[in-house]
């Protein structure tokens, strides 16, 4: 698993001051994580690309809010989550896709994971569980966040995060059983 | 459950699409220079308007339309006639003023196109 580390404080200070090199460093550091997170939420590589781009442009626009003393990773993922929500709300308004979990457009995972053999059972099963549980699971396992950080990112209580992770794992277990059967 | 934990820890990452990094940097570069581009565009456009206004006022003062009508009445397509028209025009309006108006217009169009490109073009 590619757990991402934190960025040096001096780079954050420079980025806050508008230094483009420092910003590019932050972009290079987190773009893959953000893109993968958006991809799992939006289930469409084109939309995930747009939302990732918008996320980093927002980060630059609001760079004055960067607090070098705090963990920027949580802040970046909060922006990404809100940008993805806004995107989905916009899509819902346009009736392009339904926001409702049951009617959600389920795209084949292979469609954006074209390399053969990359898609595992867990990847497929993840696509079929409740979206809220999936987000918590991804932030915890794929992105390596703590419970409190996930609670901050998703703006939900910490106990809800724990419940989502636990229920998400239960749902995953059921889905994986189906695959094995 | 441990097996699920293990599997969740091995969730795959995909590479970012080609051009995404460059697109973000281009947009961010534009954001950085956006105020400068806007101010430049407005100054050049205003400069053009002021010069054109000034040229127009001078032409009205010199009764240039009447002069042109007289020229048209005796129109003939030869070098000395065209030269006379140009000399008369540039006696009223300084050539530097005309060059300045053209440069302001070209500059305004160029910065306007740049603003338009970075604002709307998706890579």
Q: pTM of this prediction? A: 0.72
CB proximity B27 to A under 8 Å: yes
- Copy the structure tokens of residue A146: 């703590």
Contact in structure between B95 and B18 (CB atoms under 8 Å):
no
Residue B123 in contact with partner chain A when CB distance is under 8 A: no
Break chain A into its structural domains and give their ranges. 1-107, 108-181
pLDDT tens digits, one per residue of A84-94: 999 988 887 77
Strongest mean pLDDT among B4-8, B61-65, B103-107: B103-107
Assess whether pLDDT exceeds 60 at residue A109. no
- The residue-averaged pLDDT of B8-37 equals 87
What is the fold, at CATH topology level, of the domain defined by A108-181?
Answer: Arc Repressor Mutant, subunit A (1.10.10)
Q: Do A123 and B12 touch (CB under 8 A)?
A: yes
When pLDDT is cut at 50, 70 and 90, the band that residue A100 belongs to is: very low
* Tens digits of residue pLDDT in A118-139: 557 788 888 888 889 999 999 9
Asked if domains A1-107 and A108-181 share a fold, the reply is no
B69 touches chain A (CB under 8 A): no
Specify the pLDDT at position A62. 92
Residues 134-153 of A with CB under 8 A from B: 137-138, 141-142
Per CB-CB distance under 8 Å, the chain B contacts of A57 are 24, 27-28, 31
Asked if this assembly's ipTM is beyond 0.85, the reply is no
Residues in chain A closer than 8 A to B5 (CB atoms) = 141, 169
Going by pLDDT thresholds of 50, 70 and 90, the confidence category of residue A104 is very low
CA distances from A178 to A165, A166, B115 (A): 20, 19, 54
Q: How confident is the model at residue B115 (pLDDT cuts 50, 70, 90)?
A: confident
Q: Alpha carbon of A15 to those of A18, A79, B57: distances in Å?
A: 5, 16, 51
CATH domain A1-107 topology: Rna Polymerase Sigma Factor; Chain: A (1.10.1740)
Which residue, among A82, A71, A85, A84, has the nearest Cα to A144 in the 3D structure? A71
- Picking from A135, A57, A49, A47, the residue whose alpha carbon sits closest to that of residue A90 is A47
């Amino acid at each position: 698993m590619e757990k991402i580390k934190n960025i040096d404080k001096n780079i954050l200070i420079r980025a806050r001051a508008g230094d483009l090199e420092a910003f590019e460093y932050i972009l290079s550091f987190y773009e893959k994580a953000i893109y993968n997170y958006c991809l799992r939420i939006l289930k469409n590589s084109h939309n995930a690309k747009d939302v990732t781009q918008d996320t980093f442009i927002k980060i630059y626009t609001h760079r004055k809010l960067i607090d070098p003393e705090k963990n920027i990773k949580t802040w970046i993922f909060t922006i990404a989550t809100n940008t993805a929500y806004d995107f989905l709300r916009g899509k819902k308004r346009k009736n392009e896709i339904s926001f409702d979990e049951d009617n959600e457009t389920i795209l084949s995972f292979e469609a954006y994971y074209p390399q053969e053999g990359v898609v595992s059972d867990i990847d497929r099963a993840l696509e079929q569980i409740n979206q809220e549980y999936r987000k918590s699971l991804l932030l915890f396992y794929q992105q390596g966040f703590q419970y409190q950080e996930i609670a901050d990112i998703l703006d939900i209580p910490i106990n809800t995060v724990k419940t989502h992770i636990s229920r998400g794992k239960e749902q995953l277990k059921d889905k994986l059983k189906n695959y094995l059967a | 459950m441990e097996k699920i934990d293990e599997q969740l820890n091995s969730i795959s990452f995909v590479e970012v699409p080609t051009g995404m990094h460059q697109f973000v940097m281009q947009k961010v570069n534009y954001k950085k220079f956006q105020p400068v581009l806007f101010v430049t565009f407005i100054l050049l456009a205003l400069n053009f308007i002021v010069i054109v206004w000034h040229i127009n006022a001078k032409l009205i003062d010199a009764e240039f339309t009447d002069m042109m009508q007289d020229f048209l009445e005796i129109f003939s397509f030869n070098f000395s006639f065209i030269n006379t028209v140009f000399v008369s025009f540039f006696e009223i309006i300084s050539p530097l003023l005309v060059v300045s108006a053209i440069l302001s217009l070209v500059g305004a169009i160029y910065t306007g196109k740049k603003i338009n490109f970075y604002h709307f073009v998706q890579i």
